[in-house]
A and B are shown apart, each in its own frame.
Chain A
Amino acid sequence: MPEPIVIDPITRIEGHSKISIHLDDAGEVTEARFHVTQFRGFERIVQGRPVHEMPSIMARICGICPVSHLVASSKACDEILAVQPPPTGVDLRRVMNLAQMVQSNALSFFHLSSPDLLFGFDADPAERNILGVARANPQLARDGVAVRRFGQQIIEWLGGKRIHPAWIVPGGVDAPLSADARDRILATIPEAIAAIERAIAWYTASLVRWEGEAATFGNFRSAFMGLVDEHGTVDHYGGLLRVMDADGTWLADRIDPRTYQDYLGESVEPWSYLKSTYWKALGYPDGVYRVGPLARLIVADQLGTPRADAELGRFRERLGRVPSSSFHYHYARLIDTLNAAERIEQLLRGPDILSPRVRSMAGINANEGIGVSEAPRGTLLHHYRVDDDGIVQWANLIIATGHNNLAMNLGVTQVAREFVKSAHLTEGMLNRVEAVIRCFDPCLSCSTHALGEMALHLELIAPDGQIVDELRR
């Protein structure tokens, strides 16, 4: 009698989870589920807190992308204060958010995924890690260190520290940019761009090796969602929501993201703390859409920087406008990183970037605020309601990994059907099932607002519910 497979814990992603793979009587995979097994409950914790505390509290959700939570939270607070941050304040928020895109994307690609891409998914785990990458391709490893360091240094130079800076505040930013800091950042940009472009060249040259994985790693029809400006250029800070379906048709084009509840439903399952969002018009669970670097590239008409737009052209020439495989998150993530580095330079060369007017001050002027931005893993929504004294009464967060939850489950099921061929698990099976999750670069601490590192538990489950085999990391 076949029994279920469990992968527990999943490695090289952020947070705790397990995957269960359900078999039929013939031993074939019927379904796989990605269970997120951690919980923190920030939406409840913040009830009763003064709204001006929200950015700093919410940033503590995550140590990898705290800046994204600072941005979305501060934007929600801007609405409650009914303030417009000064233009320089907005540009500086953009710079820090883009720096975080760079460092988080670099972590995902160079440190978490490149071992698979360099050595293969069946390689010995003792070799398939960052030290192995350093030995086999030191330039790739050095570039990974350099690109992540570039993003982290910008965050530190702007906000005083690399993790949990409190520099982005309601109304703008806490302090203007010094000429010295601007010049230091500008001086590091050419090297960072060169490193990113070397990685793109290496990745695109090796992509042909992974055609089999690309065909099965979350390769399904779905919609894609991301933020663009009024001209259709990708906008990591704000702008308007766009949703494109698998055929390239707009489900929504440049809608106000503050109306998200008209379009996005939220659902929970008893086997995971990670809620799933879905496109309401398509219903649950059919309303699958994906967010993140791949979605940003798909919904944008252009990226707005020369090198990234040239690479976007090559991306589309090779993969089309709406590539369906989640494997291509890797390529998209590198282009997204290049775009962020170029955009940082554009912003820092702006004539008013050193302006001392970076923050608008106000009291409580509204009882509700919604802040939306792009985080490294996709569109991030913070929605708060406060009383007349600015005390938080209710909060709702929709995090990129929640947007992607339905898609991740589809991806895991597809990979399990392709690669799990017996009631006994092998390292290659385990790693491929993990790797499809890593394509999405999920942050479970964010998406469940929960603490911890990703560790995987894989269970192989029979029709009668018994566990046939399991692997843990």
Chain B
Amino acid sequence: MTGATLIVGYGNGLRRDDGVGPHVVEALRADPRLADATLLARQQLTPDLVVDISVADFVVFIDATVTSAPGVVRVTPLAPAGPGAAAWSHHLEPATLVALASELYGPVPTVVVVSVGIADTDAGEGLSPLVEAAVAHAVAVVAGLVAARASTMVGAHA
């Protein structure tokens, strides 16, 4: 393990709030607390990301969700998907992606999903007001997770 942090925000930027993940990643690029992290904005999760996951020590996926109220940010630990969970065509769910990384490259890093509740998935660019306001909160949450992870690693290696 290298201690590297990988942050992947994904979603369709042409379906308004569905693109909140990439919006958060773009905001994180300007945050000095994330200067050492690898930041990726993707429309969807594809198998090639297993290479990035395999060299990371801590992975954060940032996604939109309709199961939370608009603007609500949640953090959920993620375990690799079990057998038989890989029915797919061109993209993968985070748990399947992590399982694939585990199969191909060995032990997986710590993985969390930061989800942002959304309101509007109509065609178009830009975020709805509640979700736009939640971007700064999501940035703070992610930065906090990375900082906490870093302090854990410092402790672990002390």
Which of B67-75, B77-85, B142-150 has 4 or more CB atoms under 8 Å from chain A? Answer: B77-85
| Contact present for B88 and A130 (CB under 8 Å) | yes
| Contact present for B96 and A131 (CB under 8 Å) | yes
**Residue of A whose beta carbon sits closest to that of B123:** A451
| Contact present for A64 and B48 (CB under 8 Å) | no
Q: Beyond the given A138-B104, A473-B87, please list 8 additional residue pairs across the A-B interface where CB-CB is below 8 A.
A: A13-B89, A130-B86, A130-B100, A131-B84, A131-B85, A131-B86, A141-B104, A146-B51
Asked if B59 CB lies within 8 Å of chain A CBs, one says no
A111-B47, A130-B47, A134-B103 known; A14+B83 contact, CB < 8 A: no
Asked if A453 CB lies within 8 Å of chain B CBs, one says yes
Asked if A337 CB lies within 8 Å of chain B CBs, one says no
Q: Select which of B43, B44, B50, B89 is within 8 A of A11 by beta carbon.
A: B89
Which residues of A105-130 have CB atoms within 8 Å of chain B's CB atoms?
107, 111-112, 125-127, 129-130
If over half of B's interface residues share one DSSP class (helix, strand or loop), that class is named, otherwise mixed; here it is loop
List residues of chain B with CB under 8 Å of any chain A CB: 14, 42-44, 46-48, 50-51, 81, 83-90, 92, 96, 99-100, 103-104
- Residues of B near A64 (CB, < 8 A) are 90
- Residues of B near A164 (CB, < 8 A) are 43
**Residue of B whose beta carbon sits closest to that of A129:** B86
Query: What are 11 residue pairs bridging A and B, where the CB atoms are less than 8 Å apart in the complex?
Result: A11-B87, A14-B89, A126-B84, A129-B84, A130-B86, A130-B100, A131-B86, A131-B103, A141-B100, A145-B51, A148-B46
**Residue of B whose beta carbon sits closest to that of A150:** B48
Give the distance in Å from the alpha carbon of A453 to the alpha carbon of B92 in the complex.
13
| Contact present for A125 and B87 (CB under 8 Å) | yes
Most chain B beta-carbon neighbours within 10 Å: one of A127, A131, A144: A131
| Contact present for B90 and A453 (CB under 8 Å) | yes
| Contact present for A131 and B90 (CB under 8 Å) | no
B133 to chain A, nearest CB (A): 27
Asked if A264 CB lies within 8 Å of chain B CBs, one says no
Give the distance in Å from the alpha carbon of A55 to the alpha carbon of B92 in the complex.
28
- Residues of A near B50 (CB, < 8 A) are 145
